[in-house]
Amino acid sequence: CRCCAEGRRHSSILYSILRSEERALSPAGPAPRGCPCGSRRSVALRSPQVACKAASAVLVKTLRFVQNVPCFQELPLEEQLLLVRSCWAPLLLLGLAQERVHLETVESAEPSMLQRILTARQQGEQPPPRAPAPGRPHHGPHPPSAAEIQAIKGFLAKCWSLDISTKEYAYLKGTVLFNPDLPGLQCTQYIEGLQREAQQALNEHVRLIHRGDEARFAKLNVVLSLLSSINANVVAELFFRPIIGAVNMDDMLLEMLCAKL
C-alpha cells in the first residue's frame, strides 16, 4: 500500500517520537494475598473530580503526542483510529505514570454471599446470582474491583520504582502505539517496522545511559506486559464515568483525534 512504500523513506523513528513527546508535554505491585472475596469488593476514587480531571488532562496530552508523530499522521484515518482505539488505555496509564498521578481510593465492602442468600430467603426472594470469579475480565458499567485497581496501582508503582526517563516513556509509547497485530490493519509491515524501531531505540538508549544495568531493557518490557493485563473498560469506568457518566470511548477518541488539541 502507499504507506508501506512511504515507510521505506523513514530511516528512524527516534526524532519524530521524541519531538512528539516534547510537544505533547508543552502547554496548550502484585495484588495482596488473602481471602479472594476482597477482590470482588467495589472500589471508587476518594476524590473523583480531582483524579478524573488529571486523567482527562493526561488523555489530551497523550493524543497530542500521537498526533505529532509524523509517521502516524501518514497513515489513513481508519488506520489511525484502529490504533488509537486499541491502545488509548495503556497510553493513558503510561502518561499517568509519567505525570506522577497518584490514586487514592476507598473500598466499599459488599455483603457476603451467605448474607445475601439469607436476606433473600427472609424476604421470600430468589437467591442472588453467583458473583463473578476473581480475575474474570471486567465487563459492563460496574465499579472496578479491588483487584483491578490494585493492578493499576501496581503498574504505576513499577514505573516509579524504575524512575523511567522522558525518552524511555516516549519509546514505550511508540512501542504501544504501533501495534501491527490488530485485525483490520492494512499497513501492517509499515507499522511493524515503526514498532521495531521504537524498541531498538529504547534498547540503544538504555545501553548508552544505563551501562551498569544490563537488565533495565528487560525491566522496561515487563512494564509493557503489566499494561496488557489491565482492561480498558476498567480505566474508562474509573477515570471517566464518575464525572461524565456512561461514555462511548470510541466516539470521544474520534472527536479528539480529529480536533486540534
Q: Would 65 be classed as within a structural domain?
A: yes
Could you read off the pLDDT of 136-177 as tens digits, one per residue?
445 455 678 888 989 999 999 999 999 999 999 999 999 999
CA angle 127, 130, 131 (to 5 degrees): 130
* Cell numbers at 259, concatenated: 480536533
Q: Would 123 be classed as within a structural domain?
A: no
Please, are residues 103 and 45 in contact by the beta-carbon 8 Å criterion? Answer: yes
Q: Would 2 be classed as within a structural domain?
A: no
Q: Would 92 be classed as within a structural domain?
A: yes
pTM here is 0.75
H helix or E strand, kind and range, residue 221: helix 216-228
- Helix 188-209 crosses helix 14-25 at what angle (to 10 degrees)? 80
Q: Would 71 be classed as within a structural domain?
A: yes
pLDDT computed for residue 257 by the predictor: 74
Could you read off the pLDDT of 65-92 as tens digits, one per residue?
998 998 999 999 899 999 999 999 999 9
Three-class SS of residue 86?
A: helix
H helix or E strand, kind and range, residue 44: strand 42-45
CATH number at residue 82: 1.10.565.10
The total number of structural domains that make up the chain:
1
Query: Which residues constitute the domain of residue 159?
Result: 45-107+142-259
Q: Would 19 be classed as within a structural domain?
A: no
